[in-house]
Amino acid sequence: MKKLIPFSKLLFLIIALVLNSCSSSPEMKLSEAVLFPKPVSLIETNSSFQLTDQTKILVSNDSKVLFKAGNYLASLLNPATGFNLKTEIGSEKEVTNNIHLKISNLDTKFGDEGYKLRIDEDKISLEANSVEGIIRGIQTIRQVLPNEIEASNKIEQSWYMATGEIQDYPDYKYRGAMLDVARHFFSVDDVKRYIDLLAAYKLNVLHLHLSDDQGWRIEIKSWPNLTAIGGSAEVGGGEGGFYTQEQYKDIVEYASDRYITIIPEIDMPGHTNAALASYPELNCDGKATQLYTGIKVGFSTLCTDKEITYKFIDDVIGELAAITPGEYIHIGGDESHVTEMEDYIYFINRAQKIVLAHNKKVIGWDEIAHADLEENTVVQFWAKKENALKGIAKNAKVIMSPATKVYLDMKYDSLTKIGLSWAATIELDSAYSWTPETFVEGITKKDILGIESPLWSETIETMDDIEYMTFPRIIGHSEIGWTPAENRNWEDYITRLKKHRERLEIMDINYYNSNLLLE
């Protein structure tokens, strides 16, 4: 007969096992955390830290911005954990079980956005040269936690993080996305959600394309018809809309709390039908145009030889500069097919001077390289490499937005229901497999400010559409901007992205479920 273990002994054994598993830290591997963008270096120490309702977020001095960063971290952790984590001022030595955020003097290679994240069994320390780096590191803390941390409602589970150390800093200092709110208008809440999604992948710029042929989307108090008339249309005949200056400031502040800079664009001298329909005097023939709801490009132009045009630009840029803390204003300059080259150059030269007079620097699409470029003017490469090279020859830095790789409005393949395909269809592998500093012969790393992924909205009508075209391609773009080329490869990327799908689902992102994710 088999010898049975007495019930009391068995009970004791079970209790001992349970107690043991509670008190000691389970072994976990930091290298198994799915991190986007991939960090520069990672060392694992094979244990774990447990986030509990007793964990404190500590900031070492009473810097207001650091305290705010602590509250931002708490706001990311509290919904799913159901905890009520708070930021406190104190030293990490006082207590265990804390997440300590600290400004320190890291090596210059960390710059403003780099960070050092050390996860031990009993505490976490996140250090950076500036709060910007703390905000970037907070995104890594998020990703080291279980996927469920992204849930908007409380989930009953333990919150372990693998221990180790991550040292991380970006390859390029400008890592942006652009949203076209002119062809279709998107609400303040949609823009805020977009900002949150960009922040999670350490992007630091949101360029808002605020005017085009189909709509004018920002209140300009000295030219009220821009929004009263020009704001009332959009592609397909919808009602359009615009941001009041107060709403715009709210967006700017929301972005700035996540250390994302808003770069506003007023496209000129082409792509201006909404303005031309609002004010007859901006037209060479003195007659207002009709509002436009189609998707053709290149048919409109401001009248470049009327003085009122420059008064108009000065007023618009003046009001916009006053509510834009970022250093850049984007003046468009693309596809001005009905402006004579001579007039175009004259116009772009004057427009740059106006922006400078309002203490901002200029960004323009690559065509502006035909003009004389002011010191610090940046050329955004999207189509013609000759233009980008011309800009570089004139001492400009370049933002890399090659339409064939980063245009988020391009279809994934011929079956994609929304989007365009004039430049290419862009599957996940194509979007990921390129390198800014080798993409165009003659454009080298020192010429490049960074990369930006534009989402044009001719066919994009809802937040679901925005998410579908943006995700997951932008995750790849974020990695191209952050992670040095020698640390990136497609196989490793797609393997991590497959594992990341569950998190995208919990984040409720309407992403494109490519066949490449299913194999």
Binding-site ranges for ligand TNX (CB under 6 A): 297, 334-335, 365, 382, 407, 409, 420, 456, 458
For the CB of residue 180, give the shortest distance to ligand TNX in the complex, in Å. 6
Is-contact 226 282, C-beta < 8 A?
no
Q: Is the CB of 421 or the CB of 510 nearer to ligand TNX?
A: 421
Smallest separation, CB 422 to ligand TNX (Å): 6
Q: Minimal distance in Å, beta carbon 260 to ligand TNX?
A: 21
CB of 412 to ligand TNX, least distance (A): 14
Contact (CB, 8 A) for 141 and 99: yes
Inter-residue contact 361 to 375 (CB < 8 Å): no
Which position has the token pair 């009508």?
461
Query: Among all residues, which ones are annotated catalytic?
Result: 335
Calculate ∠ Cα 362-366-372, nearest 5°.
60
**HSE-CB for 188 with a 13 A CA cutoff:** 14
CB atoms within 10 A of CB 52: 12
Q: Toward ligand TNX, which CB reaches closer, 33 or 274?
A: 274
Give 211's strand partners. Answer: 216
> Shortest approach of ligand TNX to residue 244 CB, angstroms?
25
CB burial class (10 A; 0-12, 13-18, 19+) of residue 305? exposed
Nearer to ligand TNX, 291 or 420 (CB): 420
d(CA 470, CA 511): 7
How far apart are CB 381 and ligand TNX at their closest, in Å? 10
Q: Which of 400, 397, 362 is nearest to 480 (CA)?
A: 400
Q: How far is the CB of 305 from ligand TNX (least distance, A)?
A: 24
For residue 222, the number of C-alpha atoms closer than 13 Å in the C-beta half-sphere is 10
CB atoms within 10 A of CB 464: 12
Which is closer to ligand TNX, CB of 175 or CB of 184? 184
Shortest distance in whole angstroms from residue 408 CB to ligand TNX: 9
Residue closer to ligand TNX by CB (options 368, 507) is 368
DSSP state of 358: T
Q: In the complex with ligand TNX, which residue's Cβ is closer, 458 or 465?
A: 458
In the 3-class helix/strand/coil scheme, how is 290-352 assigned residue by residue? CCCCCCCCCCCCCCCCCHHHHHHHHHHHHHHHHCCCCCEEEEECCCCCCCCHHHHHHHHHHHH
Residue closer to ligand TNX (CB basis): 127 or 180 = 180
Q: What residues does 43 pair with on adjacent strands?
A: 165
Mind giving me the DSSP string for 202-235?
T--EEEEE-EETTEE-B--TTSTHHHHTGGG--G
* Residue with smaller CB distance to ligand TNX, 242 or 382: 382
134 within 8 A of 115, measured Cβ to Cβ:
yes
Instruction: CB nearer to ligand TNX: give 297 or 345.
Output: 297
Inter-residue contact 366 to 336 (CB < 8 Å): no
Nearer of residues 314 and 409 to ligand TNX, judged by Cβ: 409
In terms of Cα–Cα distance, which of 374, 326, 380, 332 is closest to 350?
374
Q: How many Cβ atoms from other residues are within 10 Å of residue 211's Cβ?
A: 29
Nearest distance from C-beta of residue 365 to ligand TNX, angstroms: 4
Helix, strand, coil share of the chain (percent; to 5): 40, 20, 40
- DSSP for 407-443 reads -TTB-SSTT-SSSB-SS----HHHHHS--HHHHSTT-
- Which tokens belong to 426? 């862009």
In the complex, what is the shortest distance from the CB of residue 459 to ligand TNX, in angstroms, rounded to a whole number?
9
